[in-house]
Amino acid sequence: MTQFQHATEKTVQKRRSEGEMVEVTCSFCGGRGKDPFGIMSWLSTCCVCGGRGRVQVPALHGRCAHCRGTGAIKTFTCTVCRGTGHVPLIPGPLQACPECRGTGDDAASALACMTCRGRGWVPQASHR
Ligand SMILES: [Zn+2]
Ligand SMILES: [Zn+2]
Ligand SMILES: [Zn+2]
């Protein structure tokens, strides 16, 4: 009779910062809570923050490259950050996007860069 013994040792570490949200000033309206471009009316509610002037973003966030942190592309809500002006950051080494060189823009279409999804950075290639 043979007996197999195997040690099952697993170290599972959970990132505490995961899912944590913080409240910041809405970039789209600058915290005023009103439509900054007066598309409907200067008195209409900001579509990004719902008139609160504050938005929730992940605790780990950075400035949106595509809209330069303004939350707006011309008079439209930025599709990358949905108007908040901030994008979630991935923990770990990052590098400037080789496609748009960190601008977050697609040179041909003026839309968000496909490679970095408008964020301007990509996770650094890991060597294992
Ligand atoms: Zn707003
Ligand atoms: Zn943006
Ligand atoms: Zn890019």
Contacts of 59 (CB under 8 A, 6+ apart): 17, 20, 21, 22
Residue-averaged pLDDT of the chain: 87
Q: How far is the CA of 43 from the centre of ligand 1 (A)?
A: 12
Closest ligand by atom to 48 CA: 1
pTM value > 0.85: no
Q: Give the number of other Cβ atoms within 10 Å of residue 95's Cβ.
A: 12
Q: Are 28 and 49 in contact (CB under 8 A)?
A: yes
Q: How far is the CA of 43 from the centre of ligand 3 (A)?
A: 35
The pLDDT of residue 127 is 60
pLDDT band for position 13 (cuts 50, 70, 90): very low
Closest ligand by atom to 77 CA: 2
| In the predicted structure, residue 94 carries a pLDDT above the cut 60 | yes
Q: How far is the CA of 103 from the centre of ligand 3 (A)?
A: 7
What would the pLDDT profile of 96-122 be if each residue is shown by its tens digit? 999 999 999 998 888 999 999 999 999
